[in-house]
């Protein structure tokens, strides 16, 4: 299966939440490696 180079690089920077493994859509570096959901849970804990 061939993959376009552009597609490949587009997928590279995607992060995954270290807690639940869900892909993090927003790419703010300040968020670290957790999705908004897990961040919210952490803050409310």
> Counting contacts by CB under 5 A, is residue 36 touching Zn ion?
no
Calpha distance 1→26 (Å, rounded) = 28
> Counting contacts by CB under 5 A, is residue 20 touching Zn ion?
yes
Q: How far is the CB of 11 from Zn ion (least distance, A)?
A: 19
Q: Select from 3, 7, 38, 45 the one that contacts Zn ion (CB under 5 A).
A: 38
Looking up tokens 């927003």, which residue turns up? 26
Q: How far is the CB of 27 from Zn ion (least distance, A)?
A: 15
Calpha distance 17→7 (Å, rounded) = 21
Distance of CA 37 to the CA centre of its chain: 11
Q: How far is the CB of 31 from Zn ion (least distance, A)?
A: 10
């Amino acid at each position: 299966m061939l993959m376009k180079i552009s597609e490949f690089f587009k997928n590279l920077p995607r992060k995954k939440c270290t807690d639940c493994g869900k892909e993090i859509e927003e790419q703010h570096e300040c968020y670290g490696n957790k999705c908004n959901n897990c961040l919210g849970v952490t803050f409310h804990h």
